[in-house]
Structure formats: structure tokens, C-alpha cells
A and B are shown apart, each in its own frame.
Chain A
Amino acid sequence: MGYDIYYWLQAVVNGLMNGGVYALIAVSMTLVFGVLRLVNFAHGALVTVGMYLSLTLFEAPFGINPYLALIPGLALLFGFGWVLYVGLLDRIMKAPLLMQLTFTLGLLVVLEASMEMIWHNDPRRVRIVGMASRIEFGELYVSQSRLIAFVAALVLAGLFWAMLRYTWRGAAISAAAQNPDAAQLVGIPRRSTLAFTFAIATAATGAAGMLLAPFVTMFPYVGHSFLGAAFAAMVIGTEGNILGALVGGILVGLAEALGATWMGDNYKDAFVFGMVLIMLILRPEGLFRAKSGV
């Protein structure tokens, strides 16, 4: 039964690779939840924004390599997130939950519809020559673009974590997450801290999209499945816990790949959302403790 084992091991490898990218998306979502106390339904659409950004930079006359494009991409996405927060989200920070959820749903619809208007509803992909090549380890293989995405996503998530842990900005964000009023009393500006948080989360989420662009076919509504994965990872990793979201993302990637191998590709979303339901019911506090700190 050697074949069978490799078949499953290959699923584990694929799951790990996807899980790395989910982790980056989940880390930013959990940060938004922990600091802004906002469940952002538009988060999946931000991944799609990153994918189309990568496509646009790639297909521009000067044609930027998708991985080099991460540098201007991160800056653009950061700016986009900042504008979204200052222009829109800041107004609903004190609104009741129903209003906030409505608002982010509206944002989701607007973002996706805008992308449909700009790029149309055709499947697209960033095609880099040679990137489809595989790297083989004995019986197992991984495509080059997936491996790059995995490593880059984990590096970005690590930088994200280090920023929160070791910089003044990060300390300010943690303070705002724990007690916004007290943070304001000791001189941490509420609005710009929250704007910075949302902007950096947008940059990370969009970066995940940019990393996915070379091997995931994009269309304006592709973000829905990432939304599910991010919810699952966030709930598994305990809302607001960065390292938890990182582990959660990888677990979701593994569950999805193993589920798809077991039941067929059509069912993989069912496994992801199934994990969400089971976690909410059995262990709503997540696998990790320490709810307060980021």
C-alpha cells in the first residue's frame, strides 16, 4: 500500500502549503477582531483585491514580477486599508453589532462588485514562465510558486508578530486591544492606532492574495472561500491570538487538503466550515488561552 501512504502524504504537503497562506490571512483577521472588535466579512474580498493588484502590476506595460510586486503592493494595500478605515470604518466603531456586520457585508459587496466592473467575471491568472515547475522530494512534490507562497506568508506573518511584540507601534496596538480608553489616557491616539492596525491587516491580507495569484485562478468572488478558511483559523486559534491564528491557519489547510483527498475536491469548503461549526460548539474559546493580549 505504498501508493496510498504517499497519496495522503502528498495531501499533507499540499495542505501545509495552503495553510501557510491561510495563516497569514487569519493572523490579520484575528488582529482586526482583537483590536477593532470587528468581524470583517469583507476580509476575503481583500485577498481578492491583492490577487487583482498582482495581476494588474504583472500585466502593466512594464510588467513587474509578482514577487517583486510585493514591495509596491504592500505599500499600496497599506494605503488602501488606511483610507478604508479613516474614510468609512471609523464611523461605525461605536455602532451596534448588527450595524457593524451589515456594514462589512456592504463593504464586501461593494469591493466584489467593483472588481467585477473593473476586471469582469472571467477567470484570470498570473502566468509566470517556469513557475509551474515542481520541486520533488522522492515521491512527493511541491510546485515552486506554492513553496514560495508558503515561505513568504510565514515570513510575513512572523514579521507581523515581531512588529506587534517588539515595536512601540505594536505595544500601542496591544494596549488599545486590551483597553482602548486606558490606552487613550496614557497618550495612545485611538484613531490612528486603529487605522494603522486595519491598514497593516489589509496589507497582510492583500499580500496573501498576491502570493496566491500565480497558482490560484481569480475571479471577483473567489474571496468567499478564503473568508471561510480565515474564520475557521481565527476561531480555532482563539480570537485575537496571533500565534493561535497561525497554527489555526495551518490546521485548516491540512483539514481542507485531507478532506478533499478523502471525499473529493468539491467538498473541501464543507470541511472548512464544518471545522468552524464544531469549534464554535465544542470549544468556543479556541485551542488557546490568553484572550486579552494580542
Chain B
Amino acid sequence: MQKVESSSSAPSEPGITLPASISGKGTPWIFLGLIALAAILAPTVLGRYGMTIGITLLYSAYLASAWNVVAGYAGQLSLAHGAFFGVGAYASVYFYTQWGISPWIGMVFGALISGAIAAGLGAVSFRYKLTGAYFAIATLAFAEILRVLINSSQYLGQGSGLVINLQEPGWWIMQFNDPKYFYFIFLTMMIGILFVMRWLSRSRFGYRLAAIRESEIVAESLGINPRREKLLAFVLSAILVAPAGSVYSQFLLFVDPPTFLGLTVAVAIILPALVGGTGTILGPLIGAVVLVGVTELLSHFALRPGISLFAYGMILILSVLLMPRGIWPTLHDAWVRRRAKK
């Protein structure tokens, strides 16, 4: 296979299984290039319906990848990402509907606001050494407070949210006749975040995060400042999540609390990364392919409301039981082991 030729991603020392993120020395460029080419050409083949699935796929993969930065690489289980996603959406929609500011500019502001909130929340959480389950509970608590506040805010439309008026399509206002434009925006974002994670997997910053994830005490004894590194990862992750909220709200032409805020949204963001494999470059994308695929299949059988959510939960439970590290690392290691035997 082409893939085998072009790749040299086996660990340098056979027998030592490093996480896929660390062992990935070479990149299967040709293989990835073919996928990228297929993704770019997809809109010419797929219809409107196919495009919608493509958008769902890319945007859930993107969100999971952004969460992966703080949870997968730094090992901090944030449940506030639903809130950061919502902040991005609310910022751009509010700026546009209120002052007519382009969603592209609103998107930048959304990312900055989201980053600033993460900086505040992270600074407090890490200052008071909230790790593990305590960090998860603190971020959950924060996200729920933000949801309540937005849900009650008159400026932000309370429970029914804000609606974007349909206008003459154009790039400046991020409204299009054809969903393929949104597809391309998400595709660009997805490729961008793959490079961010590639950088994380091989930069000193990424290694410091991995050290903290494995053992904060050991990392600290090696001269790493866990508080600073975790905060940077958290802020970076929040800045990355928010723009997806802005673009997705333009795609839907509205923003409201149930779709953009709360625990259910946070779980949906996290899921692809957990299923595909946290702390890896391709894990979130592969997880999204599996999850969106299953949900699409189920939607054709249109059984009962709740069935796709049920399948989501079952995949989550089964992936913990059967592939606790996620699909991608499990497959990757199996493949490396086979190669090593030969």
C-alpha cells in the first residue's frame, strides 16, 4: 500500500510503545494528501445533503481537536468547552445583529473573549490546584453558571436566543446560498488545527504538557511550571473552540442556549476525541468519522427520539471498555507491532 511506503511512523526503539503523538516522527504525507484532495473535491460529487453531513463531520472533528489540546495533551478534563463554543457563537451573532459588524470580525472578538474567560477560570483553578475530578467539576460549574446567565440575559434573547436575518449572500456577512462554502470554511479550520496539533506533538511546549499529563509532580521536579503550561494550554484550547461556534451559528442562522451551551454540548464536543483517541493528532478526526457515521446510519432508520443520543452514550461506554485509549492509538500500535514482527 502507498501508505506503508510513505510512512516511517514506527517508534525508533521496537518494544517501547510511545503514545502515537510522540512516536509520530514521519508523517504519511501522500496518504494525508490524498484524503485532503478527496475532501476538497467532495463538494463537486456530493449534493446538499452530503454537504451537511460533511459539515457536521468537520465541525465535530474540529471541536474535539480543540478540546484535545487541553484534555488530551495537558490531561486536564475541561467541561467548560461547551461554554467557550457558545461564547464564540454569541459574540459574533450579537456583534452582527446589534451593530452590523461582520461575523469574521465578531469571530476574532469571540475567540479573544473566550480566551480571556479561560484565562480567568484557568488562573483561579490552577492557582488553587484543582486537578482531576475537581477541575472537571469546577469547569462544569462555571459552564452552568454562564448558561444560566445567558439564558436569563435580555440582551442575548434569553431562552430563545438570537436570530440572524437572512440577507443577500456574501462573504463579508458569512451568508451563502450553498452549504459548500461552510464546508470549505470548516475544512480550512480542520486542516489548520491538524497543524496546530502536529506542532504540539513535537514542540517543547507539547512535551512539557505531556510530562504534566503523566505526572505533575515529576514534571515540576524537572523544572516545568505546571500552572503556567496548563493555563497556556487551556487558553489556547478556548481560543480555538470559539471560532467554530461563530461559523456554526452563521450556518444555522441562530444562536440559542440548548444548541450552544450546557453539559450536553460539552459532552458532544468531547466525545469524538475520547472515542478516536485523546492526545493524538488524528484521533479526534477518526472519532468524528465513526460517530457521525453511526448517527447518520441511525437517522435513516428513524426509530425513536433519543436513539442517536443513546448510541452516542453506548459508543462512549464501549470505547472505554474495549479501546480505553481510543480507536486510533489502538490501531496504530497494532500496526506498529505487526511491522516490528516482520
Contact = CB atoms under 8 A, between A and B. Distances in A.
A103 B317 contact: yes
B215 to A, nearest CB: 12
Contact of B136 (A39, A112, A266): A39
A274 B137 contact: no
Given A121-B305, A269-B144, A277-B145, A284 B134 contact: yes
A228 interface: yes
A115 B313 CA distance: 13
Contact of A106 (B136, B137, B304, B316): B316
A105 B316 contact: yes
A276 B324 contact: no
B57 to A, nearest CB: 20
Contacts of B124: 281
Contacts of B134: 280, 284
Which secondary structure characterizes the binding site on chain A?
A: helix
B310 A110 contact: yes
A169 interface: no
B152 A102 contact: no
Interface stretch (A53-61, A91-99, A185-193): A91-99
Contacts of A39: 133, 136-137
A91 B322 CA distance: 11
Interface in B133-171: 133-134, 136-138, 140-142, 144-145, 148-149, 151-152
A88 B128 contact: no
Interface residues of B, number: 44
Contacts of B264: 221
Contacts of A106: 313-317, 320
Given A276-B137, A277-B145, A284-B134, A109 B316 contact: yes
Given A98-B278, A269-B148, A231 B320 contact: no
B77 interface: yes
Nearest to A273: B141
Interface in A235-294: 235, 264, 266-267, 269-270, 273-274, 276-277, 280-281, 284
Contact of A102 (B129, B130, B316): B316
B152 A266 contact: yes
A116 B137 contact: no
A281 B128 contact: yes
A98 B273 CA distance: 12
Contacts of B314: 106, 110
A273 B149 CA distance: 12
A68 B313 CA distance: 33
Contacts of B145: 269-270, 273-274, 277
Contacts of A267: 148, 152
B306 interface: yes
Contacts of A109: 267, 309-310, 312-313, 316
Interface of A: 39, 88, 91-92, 95, 97-99, 101-103, 105-117, 120-121, 220-221, 224, 228, 231, 235, 264, 266-267, 269-270, 273-274, 276-277, 280-281, 284
Given A106-B317, A121-B306, 5 more contacts: A103-B320, A108-B313, A110-B310, A110-B313, A270-B145
Which 7 pairs show the lowest CB-CB distances between chains A and B? A106-B316, A109-B313, A116-B306, A110-B313, A113-B310, A113-B309, A273-B141
22 contacts: A95-B320, A97-B133, A98-B278, A103-B316, A103-B317, A103-B320, A106-B314, A107-B313, A109-B313, A110-B316, A114-B306, A114-B310, A264-B152, A269-B144, A273-B148, A274-B141, A276-B141, A277-B145, A280-B128, A280-B134, A280-B141, A281-B130
